[in-house]
A and B are shown apart, each in its own frame.
Chain A
Amino acid sequence: MVKVEKDLIGIREFFSVIVFMISTKATDMTTTRLFEDTFNAAWMVIIGSFVIILPSIVVLNLILKKHQTKNLLEILQLAMGRYVAFGIGFILFLFLLVNTSVESRSYADQLITMNFPKTPLFILYIALLLFCLWGAKKGWEALGSVAWMIFPYVTIALGILVFLLAKDAVINRIFPLFGAGKWEIAKSSFDNVPIYAEAFFVSMLYPFVKDHKTYSRGLLGSLAYSALMMVILYMSYILVFDSQSVGKITYPFNEATRLVSIGRVITNIETFFLTFWLLVIIVKFAVYLYLVSMLFGYVFNIKEFEHTLIPITILVLLLGLIPTNQLDNIFILKQKIIMYSKYMLLLLPPLLWLILKVKAVKNR
């Protein structure tokens, strides 16, 4: 009998967690940014970014394979020494922390605008984060199980949404095929590489996944799947709202759920989709919080990092409350994060690989 370690998770759980974390980007403000830049070719940016970040993910994967049982930061320490590793780790931590608060604030704003107009932001935000905290406290394994548990239902709900949207879709709205132009798409694909930033951060969790095969299969599979999901959703938005009009909508996902109806009698069914969406969001941010505190734990050498979850959540909450509105939050802050983080995402894995290679040659 193979002894199953309690903290290790299998491919299904890993797969669904990553899918939730990434593919939700087709339901938030990311859509607005992309549509603004590239009009009806926004779906190509999703594919373009995926292609651009794929090499560095593969390289990272190779590195991780060599150093089984070690996570990213430990490898960093091995390669670059304690101080540099601390520096990079700290930057990663800051990036993830700010990103978490910006994103969670964005979702809180989205909920307020579309569903709870009278609820104060503070209360809603606290409620959201408390839920996520509660989930994160249960640990990585529980999060994975929950993600896999709701995965089929979410997929079905999404399928229903796309199917219902098809009624209003006009295929030719996808043209002119390249939207703002090929060069713009290439540029935007490069700029929006951080859409897949999560693929990079889950490497922190490498030791917690059953084995290397599970990890790499789960990661690549889920990335491809998320890209596909996002492309389908982006396409639906374009086909239903048309390219010029979709850029003006703040939340195309919520607008789409409002538009659909089942037959003549069952209208106003957005709450049905809201339920599943909320479940996904809660899992997503629970994982985010978990990752942030884990990173914190590694950087500052705290073995029992799960105790830092509560202070980290409070920090996220406080940071998230700083921006005055969505514009501040997404179009200024998030834009900056994306601008700087993309170089890190693209360059760190090859650099790491190079250093390790050089070291290996020297030691020989």
Chain B
Amino acid sequence: MSYIKIILGLGIVLSLAGCWDRKELEQMSYTIAIGLDLPEKIEAKEKQAVDVTFQFANPKLNIKGAPGQEEDPERNIVTLTAPDIVTAKNMANSFITRQISFSHAKVIVVSEELARTDVFYRFMGSALKEREVRRETSIIVTKENASEFIRKNKPESQIRAHKYYQFIIDRSVETGLVPESTINRLLAITDGDADLFLAINGSIGKKNNGVTFKEEDQYLAGNVPKKGGNQVQLIGSAVFKEGKMIAKLTGEETRSALILDNTARIEDMYVSYQDPLNEKYMVACRVKKKTATKVKIKLRKGPPVINVMVPIEIEVLSSPSMENYAEDLQKQRILKKKIESELKENLSTLVKRTQDEFKSEPFYWSLYARPLFSSTKEYEKWDWTNKNYPFATVNIKVDVEIVGFGKQMKESEMEKVRD
């Protein structure tokens, strides 16, 4: 009896150990970034094909003293033309020795060209059938080809590419310059069929573009004036309507959109406003949302009224005009008014643009229209995107509170300094 037990036990244990699905780390090649491009020679409309770029993690990095990724990027980045993403994995094995896994892929980089066709959503939507594609993967839309973007990307202080993507996306989302754009959000919004999806916009910077100087967040990716560092930039967002890219937002517009969107998480937004008392100078502020933006949609005959209240907290971090805002309540009031009007102006312009140009909104406001209906059928019949939002009256109110003046209260008096 005991023999039988032992054999049975062994049998169970061995079969559970999974001779089939056993994977050695040594035999795996983990993709960090997947790039998608339209193939050059094949017409995408006629035949299903896509250029897939894989960037692999370099396992050698774990060995002390082994050279890093810099030695030859071509060894870790490959591009091939395949019918779709999933089969490209196997095709790549014709020259890659290890089994390719998507389970640690941090980003999917899509070229603008591809994003503007409806092929994009077909690929993304059905790629999720593959068990290794994960919903928290971020989407980056690039002006150039995705393969070029991935190749040119040389992170400064991190040799490990997966950390680069993770950190830069986390950080840029915190500053509000790019939106959070996971596949999960793309699917939720596109299937919900009521809002616009914002994806991170990335680009390769030109060699010299310090000519056009603007305020800190008014750039599109690729135009941020700088010298040195990584060529690749992430700023602004690509707007997707029904799974198809239709436009781009600058960093500033993206921030406005994120302020209006309650599902966004902005934590650390530094903005400069023109000093109302001395127009030559700017006041640098840290802007935070105090509580969630209040969105109220009122139904009436015809298009609805949308009342939006944006509560903002501001911390004045620097005012080179040396105006003493901390001590003078009157001056504070002027600054407050100024920021309120400027913010309101920005938000209203963006709302206007979305109504006229996009005919839909990227603020996820359909969430506030939903409670007004008791069933999905009524809600869909009412049709938020097509029939209501573009014609709605949107009243935006901004409520600014100045909560702090940094760690140095008073400004030095310029005259005395010069004296």
Give Cα distance in the complex from A243 to B379, angstroms: 13
Q: Which residues of B contact A261 (CB under 8 A)?
A: 136
Contact string against B for A residues 112-130, beta-carbon threshold 8 Å, 1 for contact and 0 otherwise: 0111111110010011001
Q: What is the CB-to-nearest-CB distance from A264 to chain B, in angstroms, rounded to a whole number?
A: 6
Q: Which residues of B contact A323 (CB under 8 A)?
A: none
Q: What is the CB-to-nearest-CB distance from A284 to chain B, in angstroms, rounded to a whole number?
A: 17
Q: Which residues of B contact A177 (CB under 8 A)?
A: 371, 374
Question: B333 near A: Cβ within 8 Å?
Answer: no
21 contacts between A and B (CB under 8 A): A116-B18, A118-B20, A119-B20, A126-B15, A130-B8, A131-B12, A134-B12, A175-B370, A176-B370, A176-B373, A181-B377, A182-B374, A244-B192, A245-B191, A248-B187, A255-B135, A258-B136, A259-B134, A259-B184, A261-B136, A267-B136
Question: A70 near B: Cβ within 8 Å?
Answer: no
Interface pair B367/A170, CB less than 8 Å apart:
yes
Question: B263 near A: Cβ within 8 Å?
Answer: yes
Q: Which residues of A contact B374 (CB under 8 A)?
A: 176-178, 181-182
Q: Which residues of A contact B184 (CB under 8 A)?
A: 168, 240-241, 259
Interface pair A39/B170, CB less than 8 Å apart:
no
Q: A241-B184, A259-B136 are in contact. Are A176 and B371 (CB under 8 A)?
A: yes
Question: A268 near B: Cβ within 8 Å?
Answer: yes
Interface pair B187/A245, CB less than 8 Å apart:
yes
Question: A242 near B: Cβ within 8 Å?
Answer: yes
Kindly identify, within residues 4 to 34 of chain B, every residue whose CB is under 8 Å from any CB belonging to chain A: 8, 11-12, 15-16, 18, 20-21
Interface pair B191/A242, CB less than 8 Å apart:
yes
Interface pair B12/A130, CB less than 8 Å apart:
yes
Q: A170-B263, A264-B166, A268-B103 are in contact. Are A39 and B20 (CB under 8 A)?
A: no
Give Cα distance in the complex from A39 to B378, angstroms: 14
Q: Which of A180, A248, A267, A268 contacts B376 (CB 8 A)?
A: A180
B-side interface mostly = helix
Question: A172 near B: Cβ within 8 Å?
Answer: yes
Residues of A within 8 A of B (CB): 39-40, 113-120, 123, 126-127, 130-131, 134, 168, 170, 172-173, 175-182, 240-245, 248, 255, 258-259, 261, 264, 267-268
Q: What is the CB-to-nearest-CB distance from A267 to chain B, in angstroms, rounded to a whole number?
A: 8
Q: Which residues of A contact B11 (CB under 8 A)?
A: 130
Give Cα distance in the complex from A240 to B263, angstroms: 11
Interface pair B21/A181, CB less than 8 Å apart:
no
Question: B212 near A: Cβ within 8 Å?
Answer: no
Q: Which residues of A contact B12 (CB under 8 A)?
A: 127, 130-131, 134
Interface pair A258/B376, CB less than 8 Å apart:
no
Q: Which residues of B contact A126 (CB under 8 A)?
A: 15
Kindly identify, within residues 354 to 400 of chain B, every residue whose CB is under 8 Å from any CB belonging to chain A: 364, 367-368, 370-371, 373-379
Q: What is the CB-to-nearest-CB distance from A309 to chain B, in angstroms, rounded to a whole number?
A: 14
Question: B131 near A: Cβ within 8 Å?
Answer: yes
